[in-house]
Amino acid sequence: MVKIPFACAECHLVLDDGIDQCPRHPSAQVSTDHQGYVIIINPARSDIAKKLEVELPGKYALKVSNR
């Protein structure tokens, strides 16, 4: 069975295995209901990072649903 990682509803950061709270936004909701996946290495040069308002490198979900 494939484990789906959590993603932060605030910043879209995809969290590492076993982590269920965003280190950048501890009070934000997290969800396993997310779509798309992007790895941002250099946010200053990335159009996707600008669209997602990402300032730090990392793994991000393109869309996160927080029901």
Q: Is the pLDDT of residue 67 over 90?
A: no
Residue 24 lies in a domain: yes
- Predicted structure pTM score: 0.89
Domain count, the chain: 1
What pLDDT, in 10s, does the model give residues 54-66? 999 999 999 999 7
Amino acid 1: pLDDT: 74
Residue 39 lies in a domain: yes
Which domain CATH number covers 20? 2.20.28.90
How far is the C-alpha of 55 from the C-alpha of 17, rounded, in Å?
A: 22
Residue 60 lies in a domain: yes
Residue 1 lies in a domain: no
Note down the domain range covering 42. Answer: 7-64
What pLDDT, in 10s, does the model give residues 3-49? 889 999 999 999 999 899 999 999 999 999 999 999 999 999 999 99
Half-sphere exposure of 43 (CA within 13 A, CB side): 12
